[in-house]
Each structure stands twice: as structure tokens, then as C-alpha cells.
Structure 1
Amino acid sequence: MSPTAARRTAAAFRKDRARRYREAAENDQVLVGTKVAEGHANYAMAYNMLTGIRVAVSRCNAKMPKPIQSSDFKTSVKLAFDVSGNEPTPSTKYDFKFKDYAPEVFRSLRILFHVDPADYLVSLTAQYIVSELGSPGKSGSFLYFSRDYRFIIKTIHKAEHKLLRNILKDYYYHVEANPNTLISQFYGLHRVKLPYGRRVYFIVMNNLFPPNRDIHVTYDLKGSTAGRFLNTAKTKTQKGEPIKGSQVRKDLNWIHDHRRINLGPSKRQLFLSQLECDISLLKRLGIMDYSLLIGIHDLTRGNSENIRNSTLKVFQPELSESDLITTDTKERKLQSAYLRHKLKHTSPKALVESSAILPLTVPADKKKFLFYADDGGFIATDENDMPLNELYFLGVIDCLTKYGFRKRMETLIRGMGKNRHEISAVPAVEYGNRFMAFIRRISGTLPADKST
């Protein structure tokens, strides 16, 4: 073949390849398999979140650490990316913009929480886990789990984002003084914005539940009773079967089930002392509507029911290294279009059907914390401080709601037909006092107090 003919053939091949990439990116019909779910746009959004985190955190880690100053709590860094994580040239349209809030502060927090920088980036890959059980906390938020089930990526409302920025300095110094705090461990605060789209705020935080143990029952406790009951008989799978495991039950379920946080004298004192300290901070900051999330693993049942396999799914676009790495501008545009197509037509797979494998052990750094020292949890003990057959995974979650105008209106409206002590929306100090009184009553190995 002559050089001229070879050039023509190569040009025709490139043109045809560009056409195929373009058609794949623009085609909204499913080529193979079934049509994806309505919420699929959120899966692609989470992919963008993880891409932004990896780039922003890598850049922050490349700088030398320095002592935290007051100005660090208010700084932010803006970035723009195409879908593959490359910064677009001025003439190229970006896929999303990313904003990293107080990066130096959150790097310091990750150090305080013993999160290894390399492990953090390795965990937050393009592959992530979603749960059919949804968020255990506030409605309207989406939860995604890192590939090793260690970190949670959670969308939050703008008001929650604003509150976290306002209280970040208090939170930072509280963590510094209380390494065993039960309040959620925040590792990052970020924002994603699509072209002509809304801004999505999200946080990265610790996952209280372990990768290596089934959670047999989960409770979300606030210390109130109005609307605090889950009818487990009505919550079933699409096939009409009862859902295994961790449906999130509430205060009245706890009372109805005659549950207690079984802790002997030593552990009960440690637990309540730390919780009292944490709640004092939240009361001082005017925060309410938080809850104590408790996941219980029954050691006698172990992992025999494979609950995680039935409730967790994996989002894992099938991409090769060549889909993500290129230096040629035209080739980058084609590969970005192809990657957009892949994201649009990928749906989460059941854990057992994917290549994802959850870790068999808890990360060693997690065991450095008092309440996660017993294989990632806090083992129940009897009155003689001897271990029992329950392992608790617990912490204070949803700590980003202030008692403002909306909550005052909720207090007024809900208080008309119910006893004020039964409703959740009450001022922060009253909320905290009631919360602590309830947790004290249900903690320990004494016979259950029948009062509510």
C-alpha cells in the first residue's frame, strides 16, 4: 500500500471511530440489557463527586502540611473537569465544576481520625457501593459507600453545608480535644455543579458499620416518640418478601422490643461520659434533630444470613486504562464522549454479581478509637464487665440541623395535637437534655425502665 493510500485509510478509520463514539454518546436508548432506573443520573453524579475528590485531595496532599490558621476555615478551591478528571482546555466544554471547602482543615481532621492519605484515595475510586436500604438519617439525601465500605459520600442541603462551614472551627477543636468523639467523623466538604445544572453539596464521612459483619438490626434513636415507629410488617422487597437485616427502626420499636444498650459499669461510664461531652457541644451550637444510630451484630448468628449480599449493590463502569489516559486533545474528547456513554448506560449490580469484594477485616486505624476497638465496634458486657454476644456499632449522626424558624414552626404545629415531650422538634438545649435522659435510661444491664 502506498503512503498516500495508507494516510487515506488511517483518516477514514479515525473519522469512522469518531462517528461511532459520537453516536454512542448521543444515543439515549439502551443497546444491551434493560433500561436503567430513573435515579440513574445520581449514579453518574456520584462518579463525578469521586473524580473531583481524588483530584482535589491529591493536590492538597502534595503540599507541605502547616499549622491550621483561622483563615483556613473559610478558604475554598474551585476546579473544572471533563468526565475523565482532566482539566479542560479553554475551548473545551467542562462536564462538571468542583469546589473543595477548607481543604487544609479537612486534611488535618483526616490525620486526627488516623485516615491514611493513600488509603483514602484508593478507597474513593470510580467503583462505589449503593444500598437498597437508603439513608438511615434525613430523607432527601443520597448515600454512596466507597468501594471498601469504609467511607460514606452523602449529599446534603445547602443549609446543612452552610451550617457545617459555620461550626467547623468548633467541631475541629472538639475533635482535637476528644479523639473518641461519637459525633460523625467528617473528612471533606465539597460541591459539584453541572453545566446549566444545580449545585449539589456533599460530605465525606465515616461509615459506622463494618465491611466484614452483617448488621442484624438497626435503630435510630432521638429520645422522642411522636412518629417514631417503623411498621416492619409493611416494609418488604418488590417480591413481597420481608427485607433481611438492617431496616432502620426507631424509638418506639426499641421500647416495644425491650431493648437495652447492654454495658457493664466500666463501659457504661466511658460511653455516657463521651456522649455527654458531645451533646454539650451540640447544645452550645444550637443543633438538634440528631440521633444515636445503633447497628447490632449478634455474634451467635454471625454472617450466616449473608445480609450484605442482599442489600448492597456496586456501581462499576467497565473501563480500561486507555479509556482514561491520553495526552492528545482530539483523542481526549473522543474518550470523554465514550466515558459519558458508559456512565449513562451502567446500572448497579448486586454485590455477589460484581467483581467487588468487601474486606474481611476492619482497618487497623479504626481500632485506635475506644468505641471501635472491638473488631470495629463496642462489645456488650454484663454487670461484671464480661463480654456478651452482641457487638454494637454506634455514633451520633445527622448533626447539621439548627433550631431555626422552620423548626420553631414545626414545634408549634406538631405541639398542637401532641404532648411537647413526644415531638422531635424542640429547642436545642431541651432536645439535648431529653436525648441524654433517654440514652441513660436504656443503657446498662439493669432491668428495663418501662417509662418512655
Structure 2
Amino acid sequence: MGNLFCSQYPIHRRFDLKGSTFGRTTDKPESEIDPTVTLKDLDLNYIFRLRKSWYQEFCRQVDRDCDFLEQERIMDYSLLVGLHFRGISCADNLTPSSGRSSGTRTPTGSGNNFDDGAPRLSGVDVDHIVTDPNRWIHLGINMPARAESTVRRSSVSDTPQLIGEPTGELYDIFIFFGIIDILQDYDISKKLEHAYKSFQYDPTSISAVDPRLYSRRFRDFLFRVFVEDKI
């Protein structure tokens, strides 16, 4: 995690994403969630909009990585995601429910994209964002993107909604991500874990599943969280 987030940009929010729902929430009250807390799937309240070229490369890389991990009978890996909200300093506090800054900010000019203290992006061409040339940009490293906040609808089913509905609130971010925890094979202990939990919970909602199912579920989830930006 330290290597992936090694950057001059402070990380304001970090997520560990698997595409499963059982146990995939942070057991901390909202008041204790700060930038050092790693949130999980059911804490995720954004979808990430990547420009076309980045999105296509992202899809190709995820497919290649998942094909390899599936072939090696590896499961239980995650996509670690870090977000830097442009215009917010390390001292500002973001609430995971809204992505807004709780600190008071006063716009200094009509060109600033601030709304109630949160940096907001609307109609900006991310292909022409001016960034520091000394900061290396690569797939998953220092990438300019947009985060759109989401809200989950209340559900009467036992399985919670994995991805919320987009709200239209767009934030200008730099995003960092990479697949981690790639050493767990589907051994007898994981098979027993899957069998035991399947008696109590939806088998598709738990993390310990066959590598083929894990790979498919992981990809399907990521390709709903990361989308092509149409601007």
C-alpha cells in the first residue's frame, strides 16, 4: 500500500475492492474515518470516470491480470484505490458519505469549481488538464480522472446494493490503483471456508470462491465502478 500510494499527492480516501458484499464494510463509526482508514466495497460511494484512452487500457490490463491469476488458481485479491481530491489539503476532512470537505472554503474567483467547500468538476476536458511535469503519470499512478458520487437505494433483500446510483456530483481527482494480495491460492482451507459460509450466506456474496468465479465477479464489479468519461 505504501509503494502504491508513494506520491507527492496526499491520499484523501483509500478503498480495498473485491466485488463481494459479505463483511465488506468498515467497522468504524463515521467520526473515526480519516484518510488513513482503508474502506471496503460497501463503503464505496463513487464511480470513477476515465478518459477513453485510459479506460481502454484499464480494461485490457484488468483482463490480462485476471486471466493470469485465474490460470494460477489465485483468488481473494483486491484492487487498492487511492483518491486525491484536487484543491483539498491534507488537513481537510472528507466524509465518506459525501466526499465533501468539512472545512470552510471561500472561492477566490468565479473560475473556481467549489461548492460548499468541495472541489467540483463540470465540463472540464481532462485530456488538457495541466499537471506538474515532474509528476509521472501512468496507468494507476497520478492519473487525472473524475469521481462521481453515488447513493445506495434502500433494499429489502438480504444482499446489499454493491454500487449506488450516480448523483451527478463530479469531483476532479488524481487516482491511484493496483491489484494487491495476489498470493492466496484456492487451497483446502479456502474451500472449507467457502463451504461453511455457504450454509449461512449467499455463496456469491462471500470472498472465498473458486478462482474462475472470483475473476469473473471481480471484473464485472470493476467494469461498473470504472467507466469511460463521455465528456
- TM-score scaled by structure 1? 0.35
SS at match of 1:367: coil
The answer to whether the Cα contact below 8 Å between 2:58 and 2:139 also exists between their aligned partners in 1 is no
The answer to whether the Cα contact below 8 Å between 2:16 and 2:78 also exists between their aligned partners in 1 is yes
Name the structure with the higher strand share: 2
Name the structure with the higher helix share: 1
The question of 1:396 aligning with 2:192 is answered no
What's the % identity of the aligned pairs? 31
The separation in 2 between residues aligned to 1:432 and 1:440, in whole angstroms, is: 12
The separation in 2 between residues aligned to 1:302 and 1:401, in whole angstroms, is: 37
Alignment match of 1:274 (pick from 61, 65, 72): 61
SS at match of 1:296: strand
Alignment match of 1:248 (pick from 38, 55, 61): 38
Aligned residues: 170
The answer to whether the Cα contact below 8 Å between 2:15 and 2:82 also exists between their aligned partners in 1 is yes
Q: What's 2:87 paired with?
A: 300
CA offset digits 1:64-88 (Å, max 9, x no partner): xxxxxxxxxxxxxxxxxxxxxxxxx
The answer to whether the Cα contact below 8 Å between 1:214 and 1:306 also exists between their aligned partners in 2 is no
Q: What's 1:223 paired with?
A: 19
Q: What's 2:199 paired with?
A: 416
Give 1:40-189 correspondences, 5 Å limit.
none
The separation in 2 between residues aligned to 1:230 and 1:418, in whole angstroms, is: 19
1:306: Cα distance to partner? 9.8
The answer to whether the Cα contact below 8 Å between 1:261 and 1:380 also exists between their aligned partners in 2 is yes
The answer to whether the Cα contact below 8 Å between 1:379 and 1:388 also exists between their aligned partners in 2 is no
Runs of 4 or more consecutive aligned structure 1 residues displaced over 4 Å after TM superposition? none
1:381: Cα distance to partner? 4.8
CA offset digits 1:267-295 (Å, max 9, x no partner): 21111111111111000000000000001
Q: What's 2:145 paired with?
A: 380
- TM-score scaled by structure 2? 0.66
Alignment match of 2:217 (pick from 408, 430, 434): 434
Q: 1:221 to 1:306 in 2, by over 3 A?
A: closer
SS at match of 1:252: helix
Structure with the bigger RCO (C-alpha within 8 Å, sep 6+) is 2
The question of 1:287 aligning with 2:74 is answered yes
1:441: Cα distance to partner? 1.1
Q: What's 2:105 paired with?
A: none
| Structure number with bigger Rg | 1
RMSD (Å) for aligned C-alpha atoms: 2.8
Give 1:31-42 correspondences, 5 Å limit.
none
The separation in 2 between residues aligned to 1:219 and 1:398, in whole angstroms, is: 14
1:232: Cα distance to partner? 3.3
Alignment match of 2:140 (pick from 338, 353, 371): 371
The separation in 2 between residues aligned to 1:440 and 1:368, in whole angstroms, is: 22
